Amino acid sequence: MKKYILITFTLVLSITAFAQEKTTAFKSGEWLRYKMSYSGFLRAGTAILEVKETDLHGKKVFHTKGSGWTSGMIKWFFKVDDVYESYFDKGNVKPYVFKRKIDEGGYKKHRITNFDYNSKKAYIQDFIEQTDTTVAFTNIQDMLSSFYYLRNQDVKKMKKGDEIAIDMFMDSQVYPFKLRFLGREVLKTKFGKVNSLIFRPLVQSGRIFKAQESVTIWITDDANKIPIKMKADLSVGSLRAELEAYKGLANNFKKS
């Protein structure tokens, strides 16, 4: 269980939440907390996602923050302290600034990316390597903005086996990700029975995952479209994340 666990969870969150028609799926003040467990019983850590309205260069934008850290026995031999931040447009959710500062068992990254839509270039400052990089892009989302961007998309007509593709900017590169819709399920949770949509992101097999399709995620089938459960089969053991607490939702959290 290395640095990729919390990163993977963030990615999954970033590419798997959707909403119906033009309903606003989130608002300023939304806060989500997830419990992460390893091999089904050992608490591995906590992840929090939150969004607030703020001012960026005189423009009102949404500022989102994703934090993750290990706890309990896992922290004894592998300490993680990650923070991801994104500033994006309140209307079309295009990202303006993306920040990543992580410390995962001594593996550290501290980068700030600014997206220039006039030049179609991303400018990356790496504070660990002391380098500046420029990367061209077209239509992209960063790791956090994609989470909120996709939550406002319409999936009512999706059928089992349908796929959704998105280009995500991470580590100075643009990565293509695909999601496959698996169907619907009434999920038993600590909040009661919740109607959910099931998706499976196609991930690269090998070092971390057992197979290309080893991650499954359940999304609330309501106007909020928040991830409520995730399960990933790793090369060693498995990882599970479950919604533990929430507040500030834009819509009612529907339960069966």
For residue 224, how far is the Cα from the chain centroid?
A: 15
Domains of the chain are: 4-245 (2.40.360)
pLDDT at 109: 92
**What is the structure's pLDDT at 176?**
81
Q: What is the C-alpha separation between 67 and 242, in angstroms, rounded? A: 15
Q: Check residue 43 and give its pLDDT.
A: 80
**Encoded tokens for 172:** 């100075």
The whole-number pLDDT of residue 157 equals: 83
Spatial CB neighbours of 9, under 8 Å, sequence gap ≥ 6: 34, 36, 47, 68, 230, 232, 239, 241
**pLDDT averaged over 10-residue windows placed end to end, the chain, 256 residues:** 51 46 80 87 87 96 94 75 95 95 88 96 95 93 87 82 85 82 94 93 53 77 92 77 96 84
pTM above 0.75, yes or no: yes
In the prediction, which pLDDT does 6 show?
52
